[in-house]
Amino acid sequence: MLSSGPWWRIGWRNLGRNRRRTAITAAGLAFGYLAVVVLIGWMDGLTAEMIESGTSTFASQLQVHDQEYRPERKIYDTIGGRDGADVYSLVREVAADPAIVAATPRVYAGGLVSSGESTTAGILIGIDPDLEPQVSKLLRSVIDGRSPRIDTREILIGVEMARQLGVGLGDEIILVVPAADGSMGNDLYSVSGIFRSGLAELDATYALMPIGSLQSLVVLSTDRVHEIAAATTDPWLATEAAARIAERLAPRELGIEIEPWTRLRPEMLDYAQLADAWNGVIIFIVFAIAIFGVANTMLMATYERRREFAVMLALGTSPFAIVRTVLAEALSLGAISLVLGALITTPIMFWFYKAPPDLGWFYGDYTFFGALIRPQLKVTLNPPMWVWTALALLLTAVLASLYPAARAARVPPADTLSGL
Protein backbone atom coordinates (compact mmCIF):
# COMPACT_ATOMS: atom_id res chain seq x y z
CA MET A 1 0.00 0.00 0.00
CA LEU A 2 1.16 3.54 -0.77
CA SER A 3 0.13 4.68 2.70
CA SER A 4 2.36 2.12 4.46
CA GLY A 5 6.12 1.79 4.79
CA PRO A 6 8.71 4.51 4.25
CA TRP A 7 7.31 5.78 0.95
CA TRP A 8 5.67 8.89 2.36
CA ARG A 9 8.80 9.83 4.31
CA ILE A 10 10.98 9.30 1.25
CA GLY A 11 8.60 11.27 -0.97
CA TRP A 12 8.42 14.13 1.52
CA ARG A 13 12.20 14.18 1.89
CA ASN A 14 12.72 14.28 -1.85
CA LEU A 15 10.62 17.43 -2.18
CA GLY A 16 13.17 19.23 -0.05
CA ARG A 17 16.05 18.44 -2.36
CA ASN A 18 15.20 21.30 -4.68
CA ARG A 19 12.99 23.58 -2.66
CA ARG A 20 12.84 26.32 -5.25
CA ARG A 21 11.51 23.97 -7.93
CA THR A 22 9.07 22.44 -5.45
CA ALA A 23 7.82 25.89 -4.41
CA ILE A 24 7.31 27.02 -8.00
CA THR A 25 5.40 23.86 -8.94
CA ALA A 26 3.29 23.94 -5.76
CA ALA A 27 2.48 27.62 -6.36
CA GLY A 28 1.41 26.82 -9.93
CA LEU A 29 -0.99 24.13 -8.75
CA ALA A 30 -2.25 26.34 -5.92
CA PHE A 31 -3.04 29.21 -8.27
CA GLY A 32 -4.66 26.74 -10.65
CA TYR A 33 -6.93 25.75 -7.76
CA LEU A 34 -7.63 29.43 -7.06
CA ALA A 35 -8.43 30.09 -10.72
CA VAL A 36 -10.86 27.16 -10.95
CA VAL A 37 -12.71 27.96 -7.71
CA VAL A 38 -13.01 31.69 -8.43
CA LEU A 39 -14.03 31.20 -12.06
CA ILE A 40 -16.67 28.60 -11.23
CA GLY A 41 -17.87 30.72 -8.29
CA TRP A 42 -18.20 33.73 -10.59
CA MET A 43 -20.08 31.72 -13.24
CA ASP A 44 -22.40 30.33 -10.55
CA GLY A 45 -22.86 33.85 -9.20
CA LEU A 46 -23.71 35.16 -12.67
CA THR A 47 -26.25 32.37 -13.13
CA ALA A 48 -27.79 33.00 -9.69
CA GLU A 49 -28.04 36.75 -10.34
CA MET A 50 -29.56 36.16 -13.78
CA ILE A 51 -32.24 33.88 -12.33
CA GLU A 52 -32.88 36.12 -9.34
CA SER A 53 -33.12 39.28 -11.44
CA GLY A 54 -35.08 37.64 -14.25
CA THR A 55 -37.69 36.21 -11.91
CA SER A 56 -37.93 38.74 -9.09
CA THR A 57 -37.86 42.05 -10.98
CA PHE A 58 -41.47 41.40 -11.94
CA ALA A 59 -42.16 38.00 -13.52
CA SER A 60 -41.89 36.00 -10.23
CA GLN A 61 -40.74 32.42 -9.70
CA LEU A 62 -44.19 30.85 -10.04
CA GLN A 63 -47.39 31.86 -11.83
CA VAL A 64 -50.97 30.61 -11.82
CA HIS A 65 -53.12 31.18 -14.94
CA ASP A 66 -56.18 29.89 -16.66
CA GLN A 67 -55.23 27.03 -19.00
CA GLU A 68 -56.32 29.08 -22.02
CA TYR A 69 -54.51 32.29 -21.05
CA ARG A 70 -51.04 31.58 -22.42
CA PRO A 71 -49.64 32.28 -24.93
CA GLU A 72 -52.29 34.56 -26.51
CA ARG A 73 -53.04 36.26 -23.16
CA LYS A 74 -56.59 37.19 -24.12
CA ILE A 75 -58.20 39.60 -21.73
CA TYR A 76 -61.25 37.43 -21.01
CA ASP A 77 -59.25 34.27 -20.15
CA THR A 78 -59.20 34.76 -16.41
CA ILE A 79 -58.63 32.26 -13.60
CA GLY A 80 -61.83 30.31 -13.13
CA GLY A 81 -63.04 31.22 -16.61
CA ARG A 82 -65.68 33.85 -17.12
CA ASP A 83 -67.26 32.98 -13.78
CA GLY A 84 -64.10 33.96 -11.94
CA ALA A 85 -62.94 32.57 -8.61
CA ASP A 86 -62.44 33.49 -4.99
CA VAL A 87 -59.20 35.30 -5.78
CA TYR A 88 -57.83 35.96 -2.31
CA SER A 89 -58.71 32.47 -1.17
CA LEU A 90 -56.52 31.19 -4.00
CA VAL A 91 -53.78 33.66 -3.07
CA ARG A 92 -53.79 32.37 0.51
CA GLU A 93 -53.77 28.77 -0.72
CA VAL A 94 -50.74 29.42 -2.91
CA ALA A 95 -48.94 31.35 -0.18
CA ALA A 96 -49.53 28.50 2.29
CA ASP A 97 -46.96 26.29 0.57
CA PRO A 98 -43.76 26.08 2.66
CA ALA A 99 -41.58 27.13 -0.29
CA ILE A 100 -43.66 30.25 -1.04
CA VAL A 101 -42.78 33.61 0.50
CA ALA A 102 -45.85 35.48 -0.75
CA ALA A 103 -48.39 35.56 -3.57
CA THR A 104 -50.33 38.36 -5.26
CA PRO A 105 -53.08 38.71 -7.92
CA ARG A 106 -52.57 40.59 -11.17
CA VAL A 107 -54.68 41.81 -14.07
CA TYR A 108 -53.19 42.64 -17.48
CA ALA A 109 -54.34 44.79 -20.38
CA GLY A 110 -52.72 46.36 -23.41
CA GLY A 111 -53.63 49.78 -24.71
CA LEU A 112 -52.63 53.32 -25.51
CA VAL A 113 -51.24 55.78 -22.98
CA SER A 114 -51.60 59.44 -23.95
CA SER A 115 -50.76 62.87 -22.64
CA GLY A 116 -51.39 65.94 -24.75
CA GLU A 117 -50.18 65.15 -28.26
CA SER A 118 -47.91 62.29 -27.17
CA THR A 119 -49.08 58.69 -27.28
CA THR A 120 -47.32 55.39 -26.67
CA ALA A 121 -48.31 51.75 -26.37
CA GLY A 122 -48.32 50.38 -22.87
CA ILE A 123 -48.82 47.20 -20.88
CA LEU A 124 -51.22 48.01 -18.06
CA ILE A 125 -50.91 45.89 -14.95
CA GLY A 126 -53.36 45.89 -12.08
CA ILE A 127 -51.63 45.07 -8.80
CA ASP A 128 -52.36 44.79 -5.11
CA PRO A 129 -50.14 47.56 -3.67
CA ASP A 130 -49.84 45.73 -0.35
CA LEU A 131 -48.90 42.27 -1.67
CA GLU A 132 -46.92 43.13 -4.81
CA PRO A 133 -43.76 44.38 -3.00
CA GLN A 134 -43.49 40.98 -1.29
CA VAL A 135 -43.34 39.21 -4.67
CA SER A 136 -41.45 41.52 -7.05
CA LYS A 137 -38.94 44.35 -6.87
CA LEU A 138 -40.56 46.72 -9.32
CA LEU A 139 -42.33 48.82 -6.69
CA ARG A 140 -38.98 49.17 -4.91
CA SER A 141 -37.55 50.82 -8.03
CA VAL A 142 -39.55 54.04 -7.64
CA ILE A 143 -37.20 57.00 -8.10
CA ASP A 144 -39.78 59.77 -7.89
CA GLY A 145 -43.11 59.84 -6.07
CA ARG A 146 -44.69 56.68 -4.69
CA SER A 147 -46.65 53.58 -5.62
CA PRO A 148 -50.36 53.97 -6.44
CA ARG A 149 -52.73 53.61 -3.52
CA ILE A 150 -55.49 51.03 -3.59
CA ASP A 151 -58.91 52.16 -4.86
CA THR A 152 -57.51 55.30 -6.51
CA ARG A 153 -57.06 56.44 -10.09
CA GLU A 154 -53.31 56.64 -9.71
CA ILE A 155 -50.72 55.08 -11.97
CA LEU A 156 -47.00 54.28 -11.72
CA ILE A 157 -45.07 54.49 -14.99
CA GLY A 158 -41.52 53.82 -16.13
CA VAL A 159 -38.95 56.56 -16.55
CA GLU A 160 -38.77 56.06 -20.32
CA MET A 161 -42.56 56.19 -20.71
CA ALA A 162 -42.61 59.40 -18.67
CA ARG A 163 -39.96 60.86 -20.97
CA GLN A 164 -41.85 59.86 -24.12
CA LEU A 165 -45.09 61.37 -22.83
CA GLY A 166 -43.44 64.40 -21.27
CA VAL A 167 -45.20 63.92 -17.93
CA GLY A 168 -44.18 64.12 -14.29
CA LEU A 169 -45.68 63.62 -10.86
CA GLY A 170 -49.31 64.69 -10.60
CA ASP A 171 -49.82 64.99 -14.34
CA GLU A 172 -52.83 63.29 -15.87
CA ILE A 173 -52.65 60.69 -18.61
CA ILE A 174 -55.39 59.04 -20.66
CA LEU A 175 -55.68 55.27 -20.97
CA VAL A 176 -57.55 53.69 -23.89
CA VAL A 177 -57.86 49.90 -23.75
CA PRO A 178 -60.08 47.17 -25.22
CA ALA A 179 -62.37 45.78 -22.52
CA ALA A 180 -63.39 42.18 -21.84
CA ASP A 181 -66.94 42.81 -23.07
CA GLY A 182 -65.76 44.07 -26.47
CA SER A 183 -66.11 47.76 -25.69
CA MET A 184 -63.32 50.33 -25.39
CA GLY A 185 -62.44 51.55 -21.94
CA ASN A 186 -60.91 54.98 -21.37
CA ASP A 187 -60.30 57.16 -18.35
CA LEU A 188 -57.99 59.74 -16.78
CA TYR A 189 -55.31 58.72 -14.28
CA SER A 190 -52.86 60.73 -12.22
CA VAL A 191 -49.14 59.86 -12.22
CA SER A 192 -48.27 58.99 -8.62
CA GLY A 193 -44.72 57.83 -9.26
CA ILE A 194 -41.99 56.98 -11.75
CA PHE A 195 -39.81 53.87 -11.55
CA ARG A 196 -36.50 52.88 -13.10
CA SER A 197 -35.92 49.12 -13.31
CA GLY A 198 -32.88 49.29 -15.57
CA LEU A 199 -34.65 47.14 -18.17
CA ALA A 200 -35.61 49.15 -21.25
CA GLU A 201 -38.73 47.08 -21.98
CA LEU A 202 -40.18 47.62 -18.52
CA ASP A 203 -39.23 51.28 -18.25
CA ALA A 204 -40.82 52.11 -21.63
CA THR A 205 -43.99 50.01 -21.60
CA TYR A 206 -45.07 49.00 -18.08
CA ALA A 207 -47.70 51.01 -16.23
CA LEU A 208 -48.92 49.80 -12.82
CA MET A 209 -52.21 50.73 -11.21
CA PRO A 210 -54.48 49.41 -8.43
CA ILE A 211 -56.03 46.11 -9.45
CA GLY A 212 -59.57 47.33 -8.84
CA SER A 213 -59.09 50.37 -11.08
CA LEU A 214 -57.91 48.25 -14.01
CA GLN A 215 -60.69 45.70 -13.48
CA SER A 216 -63.21 48.52 -13.67
CA LEU A 217 -61.56 49.98 -16.77
CA VAL A 218 -61.58 46.68 -18.71
CA VAL A 219 -64.99 45.56 -17.38
CA LEU A 220 -63.81 42.63 -15.26
CA SER A 221 -65.50 41.81 -11.98
CA THR A 222 -63.39 41.77 -8.82
CA ASP A 223 -63.28 37.94 -8.81
CA ARG A 224 -61.61 37.80 -12.23
CA VAL A 225 -57.82 38.06 -12.50
CA HIS A 226 -55.36 36.85 -15.09
CA GLU A 227 -52.54 35.75 -12.84
CA ILE A 228 -51.48 34.89 -9.34
CA ALA A 229 -47.73 35.42 -9.03
CA ALA A 230 -45.67 33.96 -6.21
CA ALA A 231 -42.13 34.32 -4.88
CA THR A 232 -40.26 31.31 -3.50
CA THR A 233 -37.62 31.05 -0.80
CA ASP A 234 -35.26 29.60 -3.43
CA PRO A 235 -35.88 29.76 -7.20
CA TRP A 236 -34.87 26.10 -7.55
CA LEU A 237 -37.77 25.07 -5.27
CA ALA A 238 -40.36 26.51 -7.68
CA THR A 239 -40.90 23.29 -9.65
CA GLU A 240 -41.63 21.21 -6.56
CA ALA A 241 -43.83 23.97 -5.13
CA ALA A 242 -45.83 24.15 -8.38
CA ALA A 243 -46.50 20.41 -8.25
CA ARG A 244 -47.67 20.58 -4.63
CA ILE A 245 -49.92 23.58 -5.25
CA ALA A 246 -51.42 21.98 -8.36
CA GLU A 247 -52.27 18.88 -6.33
CA ARG A 248 -53.78 20.97 -3.54
CA LEU A 249 -55.92 23.07 -5.90
CA ALA A 250 -57.03 20.18 -8.13
CA PRO A 251 -60.31 19.59 -6.20
CA ARG A 252 -61.45 23.13 -7.06
CA GLU A 253 -61.61 22.18 -10.77
CA LEU A 254 -60.78 25.70 -11.91
CA GLY A 255 -58.98 24.69 -15.11
CA ILE A 256 -55.75 26.40 -14.13
CA GLU A 257 -52.08 25.82 -14.89
CA ILE A 258 -49.33 26.42 -12.35
CA GLU A 259 -45.99 27.11 -13.97
CA PRO A 260 -42.57 27.55 -12.34
CA TRP A 261 -40.02 29.89 -13.88
CA THR A 262 -38.20 26.89 -15.38
CA ARG A 263 -41.12 26.47 -17.81
CA LEU A 264 -41.94 30.16 -18.14
CA ARG A 265 -38.31 31.06 -18.88
CA PRO A 266 -36.75 27.88 -20.33
CA GLU A 267 -33.86 29.83 -21.84
CA MET A 268 -32.62 30.71 -18.35
CA LEU A 269 -32.84 27.07 -17.29
CA ASP A 270 -30.90 26.02 -20.40
CA TYR A 271 -28.16 28.53 -19.59
CA ALA A 272 -27.96 27.37 -15.96
CA GLN A 273 -27.60 23.76 -17.08
CA LEU A 274 -24.98 24.73 -19.64
CA ALA A 275 -23.03 26.65 -16.99
CA ASP A 276 -23.10 23.58 -14.71
CA ALA A 277 -21.75 21.44 -17.52
CA TRP A 278 -18.95 23.93 -18.12
CA ASN A 279 -17.75 23.57 -14.53
CA GLY A 280 -16.24 20.19 -15.35
CA VAL A 281 -14.74 21.56 -18.57
CA ILE A 282 -13.05 24.40 -16.67
CA ILE A 283 -11.54 21.97 -14.15
CA PHE A 284 -10.29 19.76 -16.97
CA ILE A 285 -8.73 22.60 -18.98
CA VAL A 286 -6.94 24.26 -16.05
CA PHE A 287 -5.50 21.07 -14.61
CA ALA A 288 -4.73 19.62 -18.04
CA ILE A 289 -2.43 22.60 -18.50
CA ALA A 290 -1.02 22.17 -14.99
CA ILE A 291 -0.30 18.49 -15.54
CA PHE A 292 2.52 19.33 -17.95
CA GLY A 293 4.23 21.52 -15.37
CA VAL A 294 4.02 18.82 -12.72
CA ALA A 295 5.20 16.14 -15.16
CA ASN A 296 8.19 18.29 -16.08
CA THR A 297 9.08 18.72 -12.41
CA MET A 298 8.79 15.01 -11.70
CA LEU A 299 10.82 14.09 -14.80
CA MET A 300 13.62 16.41 -13.72
CA ALA A 301 13.51 15.09 -10.15
CA THR A 302 13.63 11.44 -11.23
CA TYR A 303 16.38 12.10 -13.77
CA GLU A 304 18.56 13.71 -11.11
CA ARG A 305 18.08 10.64 -8.88
CA ARG A 306 18.54 7.94 -11.50
CA ARG A 307 21.72 6.66 -9.77
CA GLU A 308 19.79 6.49 -6.50
CA PHE A 309 17.08 4.43 -8.16
CA ALA A 310 19.73 2.22 -9.76
CA VAL A 311 21.26 1.49 -6.34
CA MET A 312 17.83 0.69 -4.89
CA LEU A 313 17.08 -1.71 -7.76
CA ALA A 314 20.51 -3.31 -7.46
CA LEU A 315 19.89 -3.93 -3.76
CA GLY A 316 16.66 -5.76 -4.57
CA THR A 317 14.03 -3.04 -4.39
CA SER A 318 11.14 -3.94 -6.69
CA PRO A 319 10.19 -1.63 -9.59
CA PHE A 320 6.76 -1.22 -7.99
CA ALA A 321 8.43 0.16 -4.85
CA ILE A 322 10.20 2.75 -7.02
CA VAL A 323 6.84 3.68 -8.53
CA ARG A 324 5.36 4.06 -5.06
CA THR A 325 8.22 6.32 -4.04
CA VAL A 326 7.62 8.67 -6.97
CA LEU A 327 3.84 8.60 -6.49
CA ALA A 328 4.28 9.42 -2.81
CA GLU A 329 6.43 12.39 -3.79
CA ALA A 330 3.77 13.56 -6.25
CA LEU A 331 0.98 13.19 -3.70
CA SER A 332 3.05 15.09 -1.14
CA LEU A 333 3.50 17.85 -3.70
CA GLY A 334 -0.25 17.80 -4.38
CA ALA A 335 -1.03 18.00 -0.66
CA ILE A 336 1.27 21.01 -0.23
CA SER A 337 -0.34 22.67 -3.25
CA LEU A 338 -3.83 21.98 -1.93
CA VAL A 339 -3.09 23.46 1.49
CA LEU A 340 -1.51 26.52 -0.11
CA GLY A 341 -4.39 26.84 -2.58
CA ALA A 342 -6.99 26.59 0.19
CA LEU A 343 -5.20 29.22 2.28
CA ILE A 344 -5.19 31.60 -0.70
CA THR A 345 -8.64 30.79 -2.09
CA THR A 346 -10.83 30.73 1.04
CA PRO A 347 -10.36 34.36 2.17
CA ILE A 348 -10.62 35.63 -1.42
CA MET A 349 -13.90 33.78 -2.00
CA PHE A 350 -15.43 35.04 1.26
CA TRP A 351 -14.26 38.55 0.44
CA PHE A 352 -15.83 38.43 -3.04
CA TYR A 353 -19.00 36.91 -1.52
CA LYS A 354 -19.40 39.53 1.22
CA ALA A 355 -18.16 42.55 -0.75
CA PRO A 356 -18.18 41.87 -4.51
CA PRO A 357 -15.60 44.04 -6.30
CA ASP A 358 -17.20 46.78 -8.40
CA LEU A 359 -16.37 46.42 -12.09
CA GLY A 360 -18.21 49.58 -13.10
CA TRP A 361 -14.90 51.05 -14.30
CA PHE A 362 -14.73 48.23 -16.85
CA TYR A 363 -18.36 47.82 -17.98
CA GLY A 364 -21.83 49.00 -17.01
CA ASP A 365 -25.15 47.30 -16.31
CA TYR A 366 -26.28 44.95 -19.05
CA THR A 367 -29.23 42.69 -19.74
CA PHE A 368 -28.88 38.95 -20.18
CA PHE A 369 -31.92 36.81 -21.08
CA GLY A 370 -34.11 39.70 -19.94
CA ALA A 371 -32.34 39.99 -16.58
CA LEU A 372 -30.41 43.01 -15.35
CA ILE A 373 -26.81 42.12 -14.44
CA ARG A 374 -24.85 44.53 -12.26
CA PRO A 375 -21.13 45.19 -12.92
CA GLN A 376 -19.85 43.23 -9.92
CA LEU A 377 -17.60 40.22 -9.45
CA LYS A 378 -20.31 38.40 -7.54
CA VAL A 379 -19.59 34.80 -6.55
CA THR A 380 -21.54 32.02 -4.87
CA LEU A 381 -20.00 29.67 -2.34
CA ASN A 382 -20.10 26.07 -3.53
CA PRO A 383 -18.12 23.89 -1.06
CA PRO A 384 -18.93 20.60 -2.86
CA MET A 385 -17.33 22.03 -6.00
CA TRP A 386 -14.30 23.04 -3.93
CA VAL A 387 -13.94 19.42 -2.83
CA TRP A 388 -14.19 18.15 -6.41
CA THR A 389 -11.57 20.69 -7.45
CA ALA A 390 -9.29 19.53 -4.63
CA LEU A 391 -9.65 15.92 -5.77
CA ALA A 392 -8.90 17.04 -9.33
CA LEU A 393 -5.72 18.73 -8.09
CA LEU A 394 -4.53 15.57 -6.32
CA LEU A 395 -5.45 13.47 -9.35
CA THR A 396 -3.46 15.86 -11.53
CA ALA A 397 -0.39 15.37 -9.35
CA VAL A 398 -0.73 11.57 -9.52
CA LEU A 399 -1.38 11.40 -13.27
CA ALA A 400 1.52 13.74 -13.96
CA SER A 401 3.87 11.43 -12.05
CA LEU A 402 2.88 8.15 -13.73
CA TYR A 403 5.24 8.48 -16.68
CA PRO A 404 8.22 9.71 -14.59
CA ALA A 405 7.55 6.88 -12.11
CA ALA A 406 7.48 4.30 -14.89
CA ARG A 407 10.77 5.61 -16.28
CA ALA A 408 12.38 5.55 -12.85
CA ALA A 409 11.28 1.95 -12.32
CA ARG A 410 12.92 0.92 -15.61
CA VAL A 411 16.34 2.42 -14.91
CA PRO A 412 19.00 -0.20 -15.84
CA PRO A 413 21.14 -0.52 -12.66
CA ALA A 414 24.36 -1.74 -14.27
CA ASP A 415 24.45 0.82 -17.08
CA THR A 416 23.45 3.71 -14.81
CA LEU A 417 26.00 2.92 -12.09
CA SER A 418 28.78 2.42 -14.65
CA GLY A 419 28.09 5.88 -16.01
CA LEU A 420 26.78 4.71 -19.40
Check whether residue 396 and residue 294 sit in a common domain.
yes
Find the range with the poorest average confidence among 38-52, 177-191, 233-247, 308-322. Answer: 308-322
Give me the half-sphere count of Cα atoms (radius 13 Å) on the Cβ side of residue 284.
5
Among candidate residues 228, 261, 294, the one where a domain is terminated: 261
Instruction: Please give the Cα distance from 260 to 258 (Å, whole number).
Output: 7
Summarize pLDDT for 136-195 with one digit per residue, the tens.
999 999 999 999 999 899 999 999 999 999 999 999 999 999 999 889 999 999 999 999
pLDDT bracket for residue 302 (50, 70, 90): confident
In-domain check, residue 419: no
Provide the mean pLDDT of the chain: 87
**Total domain count for the chain?**
2
pLDDT at 11: 66
State the pLDDT confidence band at 1, using cuts at 50, 70 and 90. very low
Its domain, for residue 217, covers 60-261
Res 65: pLDDT: 95
Mark whether 13 and 66 lie in a shared domain. Answer: no
- Whether residue 406 is contained in a domain is answered as yes
Burial of 315 (0-12, 13-18, 19+ CB in 10 A): exposed
420 part of a folded domain:
no
Same domain assignment for residues 78 and 154: yes
* This prediction's pTM: 0.80
43-59 mean pLDDT? 88
Q: Is residue 294 located within the same domain as residue 381?
A: yes
192 neighbors 24 (Cβ within 8 angstroms): no
The more confident residue out of 289 and 214 is 214
Domain boundary among 226, 261, 296: 261
278 lies in a domain? yes
> Quick one: CA dihedral 8, 14, 16, 20, positive or negative?
negative
Residues 129, 148 share a domain: yes
On whether both 197 and 342 belong to a single domain, the answer is no
- DSSP 8-state secondary structure symbol assigned to residue 122: E
Q: Give me the pLDDT at residue 2, please.
A: 47
Q: pLDDT tier at 241 (50, 70, 90 boundaries)?
A: very high
Write the DSSP symbol of residue 206.
E
As a whole number of angstroms, the distance between CA 128 and CA 149 comes to 9
Tell whether 144 is covered by a domain: yes
